[in-house]
Chains A and B, each alone.
Chain A
Amino acid sequence: MNSDTLNTLNSYSINKYKYGFVTEIDDEKPKKGLNEDTIKFISLKKNEPEWMLDWRLKAYSKWKKMKEPKWANLSFPEIDYQDIYYYSAPKGFEKKPKDLSEVDPKLIETYNKLGIPLEEQKVLAGVAVDVVFDSVSVATTYKGELEKLGIIFCSIGEAIQKHPDLIKKYLGSVIPPGDHSFSALNSAVFTDGSFVYIPEGVKCPMELSTYFRINAENTGQFERTLIIADKGSYVSYLEGCTAPKRDDNQLHAANVELIALEGAEIKYSTVQNWYPGDEDGRGGIYNFVTKRGLCAGKNSKISWTQVETGSAITWKYPSCILKGDNSIGEFYSVAITNNFQQADTGTKMTHIGKNTKSKIISKGISLGKSQNTYRGEVSFLRKADKARNYTQCDSLLVGNQCGAHTVPYIDSKNNTAVIEHEASTSKINEDQLYYCRQRGLSHEEAVSLIVNGFCKQVLQELPMEFAVEAQKLVSISLEGSVG
């Protein structure tokens, strides 16, 4: 490697996380630790019906018997579940404020700093936002307009109160609480998150978006999102996340369930930028997330797009169960790791129905001393006649102290199904760098340009409003400078 490349690399490893500030706000927490009382406290705070508390307690008793999954290529100290707060709410949020005049100005200020203004007139045109601060949803924009179409977009807490039938029917139907220890944990202690229901035949006219923020110290965030797209409907949903800089690791264990009925389409995009820890690997979010979508009906489609740049540890496999005939699952992913970050991410495409199709495009970029693993499973079950999968996963190494790993599992039990898988790993191309620099671009600009080009296939899947943001985020993750 030449000296310029080294200099650029060194400048990258100085991490500057621009969302690392803390909001000084009084909060309300139960005692640390996980036990039945904690769960009862959460359920009481949320004013939940009896059946919900039972559901949580059942999940908790499952969790007690389970061990964390260990197969991922990650190393981290044992998580002490008794040293975590399971609930934290800014004071005064016993009830969700009716409008912004009831919201603490400090909170509004926080979101302005994060570039997520809560006043509707300032909000990105055509995007409705639900904002979750620690354990509670603080604001949901454009609610009225959506209601006219029969679309329900609210916090999951509110949905439990107002739409118990939908919750009872679908919550845990794609990710059973007993699936693995993180799903059991989330089911026991989830605090807030978003709920979306799109009625039959409705195309949601705007992007729905949730913004998650962890603020309080030693607090886990356990949000739960449930999206149901009824027959022939369409919705595009985007999730973003940040957290303050802290020296301790914080746990984030979300569950996201998507259900697409016949002919429905759900597009789910994530820009994950949790605090990744500092350049010595201190602090950062442990991001153990379960995301799973069920293409329940014929001709349905679920598409996951993720840009993962944050978190000290990312453990995340947005998956599709392709049950309905002709259903389609897609997964587009960019994962960038720098410094001491570790990511083990990918997807699982389970083809059950006939003529089901899936596509996986994964781009991993490793820098610094990080470890970046793609892990994906594609399986064709016996009855998945004529099913098809195409997978492409490419890794780019920038620097010689990081690792890039590819672990695909390919399982075919049907002789009419076709699977194609390609993967490559290489370093950043010196000829491309030379070419760009000969045209006058600095080394750093050239790297950022080439990496963005490498990710383009994925970035172009993001909704327009966010594609530009994501590109900047990619550059920032490389530069470590404020974009």
Chain B
Amino acid sequence: MFLEIKDLSVKIENKNILKSLNLNINKGEVHAIMGPNGSGKSTLANVLAGKEDYEILNGSINFKDNDLFDLNIEERAQEGMFLAFQYPVEIPGVNITPFLHSAINSKRKRMNEEEIDNLSFAKLLKSKASDLGINIDMLKRSVNTGFSGGEKKRYEILQMSILNPDLAILDETDSGLDIDALKIVTDGVNKLKTKDNSFLIITHYQKLLDYIKPDYVHVMVNGSIVKSGGSEIAAEIEKDGFQKFQ
């Protein structure tokens, strides 16, 4: 199994957020999780990435034959887990290019691969950026600083394509995007898709799933998955909302 979440219960500040959640993802699959606000979708993403504010009450997560709880944030990232943030944080003064360069090299180091030098990295970054229609000038700026909402999301996808993760988690990547930006972002994701990597797409709306076809759709309500199936579920939600699942 590629990713196996078993009976996961999580709380934060005395509030139970995830309740006995189960989810399995195989290599090459695209899963979508849909749910109303406050259902625990972003918590799941952050627990997978290893954010430290949460208390794990019960359950286990297995990722590529690792007990995920044995790995800290950066080790998970280096093992190939990528979280595209819902609200990417601004880091003033930290230039994008060296930032991503160190990121890719820490991953290569863990994988015992050779580090990539300055020049080859600059080339790689440029080509990936132009694929995503990102202006080269943007690469001279500080991480997420002064970016518009759309630019931030596009920049997340750029990082994803550079780091080439095994499991990419997209946390509400569609929120705040107009239709053109959504198209650029989803094109980027589709280009990245191979039979060896997997995607977990967290979204509130069905629209994103018109562009990225999921193999499985899960409905999450109140911290657990209440229904799973194919893309027909998304259409059902589009029509009737989440009411009937609650």
Contacts and interface: CB of A to CB of B under 8 A. Distances in A.
B74 interface: yes
Majority secondary structure of chain A interface residues (helix, strand, loop or mixed): helix
Contacts of B163: 439-440
A129 interface: no
Contacts of B142: 453, 456
Residue picked from A4, A429, A431, A457, most chain B C-beta under 10 Å = A431
Interface in B76-97: 77-78, 82-83, 85, 88-89, 91-94
A435 B100 contact: no
Contacts of A442: 74, 106
B49 interface: yes
A446 B15 CA distance: 30
Interface in B90-149: 91-94, 99-100, 102-104, 106-107, 110, 142-143
A: contact size bracket: 20 to 34
A441 B91 contact: no
A239 interface: no
Contacts of B52: 2-4, 434
Contact of B106 (A4, A441, A450, A454): A441
Contacts of B64: none
A424 interface: no
Nearest to A456: B93
Contacts of B237: none
A457 to B, nearest CB: 7
B203 interface: no
Interface string A426-458: 000101101111111111011001101111110
A449 B102 contact: yes
B77 A449 contact: no
Contacts of B89: 429, 431-432, 434-435
B103 A441 contact: yes
A437 B74 contact: yes
A457 B100 CA distance: 21
Nearest to B109: A440
Given A4-B52, A431-B89, A453-B142, A437 B94 contact: no
B93 A443 contact: no
B78 A438 contact: no
Given A4-B52, A434-B51, A439 B103 contact: yes
Nearest to B51: A434
A440 B107 contact: yes
B72 A454 contact: no
A453 B92 contact: yes
Nearest to A446: B74
A2 B55 CA distance: 12
Interface string B20-55: 000000000000000000000000000001111000
A452 B99 CA distance: 12
Contacts of A446: 74
Interface string A452-471: 11111100000000000000
B73 interface: yes
A431 B52 CA distance: 11
B91 A452 contact: no
B44 to A, nearest CB: 15
Contacts of B198: none
Given A435-B89, A441-B102, A450 B94 contact: yes
Given A4-B52, A449-B102, A437 B93 contact: no
Contacts of B92: 453-454, 456
A445 B102 contact: yes
B100 A439 contact: yes
Interface string A1-14: 01110000000000
A411 to B, nearest CB: 31
Contacts of B77: 437-440
A474 to B, nearest CB: 11
Contacts of B85: 435, 438
A423 B143 CA distance: 23
Given A4-B52, A432-B89, A440-B77, A453 B106 contact: no
A435 B88 contact: yes
A432 B51 contact: no
Contacts of A434: 49, 51-52, 73, 89
B91 A440 contact: no
B74 A432 contact: no
B83 A438 contact: yes
A453 B107 contact: no
B159 interface: yes
Contacts of B103: 436, 439-441
Contact of B73 (A438, A450, A454, A457): A438
Contacts of A4: 52, 72-73
A441 B99 CA distance: 9
Contacts of B106: 440-442, 445
A457 B92 CA distance: 10
B158 to A, nearest CB: 12
Residue picked from B51, B52, B85, B159, most chain A C-beta under 10 Å = B52
A432 B99 CA distance: 12
Residue picked from B52, B88, B93, B94, most chain A C-beta under 10 Å = B93
Given A449-B99, A453-B94, A454-B92, A438 B107 contact: no
B107 to A, nearest CB: 5
27 contacts: A2-B52, A4-B52, A4-B73, A434-B51, A434-B73, A435-B85, A437-B50, A437-B73, A438-B83, A438-B85, A439-B99, A439-B100, A439-B103, A440-B77, A440-B78, A440-B104, A440-B163, A441-B74, A441-B103, A441-B106, A442-B74, A443-B72, A443-B74, A449-B91, A454-B93, A456-B94, A456-B142
Task: Identify the 10 closest CB pairs spanning chains A and B, nearest first.
Answer: A453-B93, A456-B93, A453-B94, A437-B73, A440-B77, A439-B103, A437-B74, A440-B106, A2-B52, A431-B89
Given A437-B72, A440-B77, 13 more contacts: A4-B52, A432-B91, A434-B49, A435-B85, A435-B91, A436-B91, A437-B50, A440-B104, A441-B102, A443-B72, A449-B102, A452-B93, A455-B93
Interface of A: 2-4, 429, 431-432, 434-443, 445-446, 449-450, 452-457
